[in-house]
Structures are given as C-alpha cells and as structure tokens.
C-alpha cells in the first residue's frame, strides 16, 4: 500500500480507537465509581445524569486532542458520518471514503477490545462496553431524528472550522465542544453517539445490537446533509 494511503488510514484508526477507549471508557468508569447497580443498562438508557458532564467532556476532549494531533495527516474524521459528509459534498473520492470508514470501524473495534481487556469486567458488562442504545420511551424514529440533528451540527462545525479556507484555526476545540454539547443535550435519550463507529465497536465486542440501525441511519443522513449543504452554500464548489 502506498505511503500516501496508509498514513491517513492509520491516523483514522488511532483517532477512532482513542474516542472509544476514552469516551466509552468514561462510561465504564462512571459505572465503576457508583459500584454494581441494578441499572445494568446504564448506557443503554443514556449516560447516568450524575456522570453526564464527565462523559460528555471525555468524548469531546478525546476528539479535540486527536483532531488537533492527527488532523493534518488524515483530516481528523474519526467518524463515518463525517466521511459521508465529505463524500456527499464531492470533496472525497468513493474509494478513499470507503477506506476511511474501514479504518474507523477497525479502530473502534480495537478500542472496544482494549476496554474489555483493561477495564473491570463487571462494570464493563453493566454498560455493554459503552454501547449506546435508545432510552426508555425513545422510539426508533425519534432516535434517528436526534442522531441526525446532532450529527448535522457536528459535520457543519467540521466544515466551518476545518475545511473552509478562511476557517479559524480552532477545528479540534470546536469539534470536540460540539460532541460535548450533543451529549449534554440528548445523551440520556440516545447516548448521542453521532458516529456509527462509536456505536459499532462496542456493539460488536459486547454483542449489544439493540436499535443499532439508529446509529447508522441518523448520523449518515445528518452528516451527508450538512456536508452537502455547507459545500453548496459556502464553498462554491472549491476543492
């Protein structure tokens, strides 16, 4: 594989690994800090309110740091929905986009494996390795809607702070803060994954697939719409 190809793919895998290990790991840590609980599906109903801020910050900081560290190499997508935004806007070729998504899913899976190896088994099992799922009373359609809107915000910020030629050089911080605000706003209802890889890795390793399509349909729709809209409205077709 040419150097120009494998380096960004490695960056995408490492960045997504970090999101899972730190983000989902914070959910396991929150569960462990409370001890064993009858709320065995704490994440399945969204992050527990007592630890919501910690969980939101862990996800946001993980992405902020990795986008800042690796964005110059791969663009710092770490999210198939972001990649779909680039595909929808015509700013990435299909083959490259599929390679990015494959690397992201691999990184997410390895991150979940690392959680299973390194974190307390009881707490990890209680929250299904941090696998997001719909909260009580949240239907499939509402879940898709919330994930789509949250991902729309995220990809809009990616384009506005990291793609636009006149973007302020705060991409990592702004992108991380967007994830933080999404989790604070609707984390208890869907887990606010806004990222198919964030759902896929823990689900694959833990076997918790309930409502999994929500985390593909919503983010891809929202991310694709945001990428297309921003590019069409503000980038004037520039590549």
- pTM for the full predicted model: 0.91
CA atoms within 13 A on the CB side of 134: 20
Number of Cβ atoms within 10 Å of the Cβ of 11: 24
> CA-to-CA distance for 139 and 135, rounded, in angstroms?
8
Residues with Cβ < 8 Å from 24, sequence gap 6 or more? 111, 112, 115, 129, 130, 131, 198, 201, 202
Question: Which pLDDT belongs to residue 46?
Answer: 47
Sorted by where each starts, the structural domains of the chain and their CATH numbers stand as 3-235 (1.20.1080.10)
Question: pLDDT tens across 182-236, in order?
Answer: 999 999 999 999 999 999 999 999 999 999 999 999 999 999 999 999 999 999 7
**For the chain, percent of residues with pLDDT exceeding 90:** 86
């Amino acid at each position: 594989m040419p150097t120009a190809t494998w380096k960004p793919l490695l960056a995408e895998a490492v960045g997504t690994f970090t999101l899972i290990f730190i983000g989902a790991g914070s959910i396991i840590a929150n569960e462990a800090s409370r001890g064993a609980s009858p709320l065995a599906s704490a994440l399945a109903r969204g992050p527990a309110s007592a630890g919501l801020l910690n969980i939101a910050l862990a996800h946001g900081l993980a992405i902020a740091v990795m986008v800042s560290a690796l964005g110059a190499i791969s663009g710092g997508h770490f999210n198939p929905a972001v990649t779909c935004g680039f595909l929808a806007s015509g700013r990435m070729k299909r083959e490259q986009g599929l390679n990015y998504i494959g690397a992201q899913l691999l990184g997410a899976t390895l991150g979940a494996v690392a959680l299973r190896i390194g974190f307390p088994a009881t707490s990890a099992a209680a929250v299904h390795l941090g696998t997001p799922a719909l909260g009580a009373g949240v239907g499939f359609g509402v879940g898709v809607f919330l994930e789509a809107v949250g991902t729309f915000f995220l990809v809009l910020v990616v384009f506005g702070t990291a793609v636009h030629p006149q973007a302020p050089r705060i991409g990592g911080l702004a992108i991380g803060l967007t994830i933080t605000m999404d989790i604070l706003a609707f984390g208890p209802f869907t887990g606010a994954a806004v990222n198919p890889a964030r759902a896929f890795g823990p689900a694959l390793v833990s076997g918790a697939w309930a409502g999994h399509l929500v985390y593909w349909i919503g983010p891809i729709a929202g991310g694709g719409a945001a990428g297309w809209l921003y590019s069409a409205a503000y980038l004037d077709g520039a590549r």
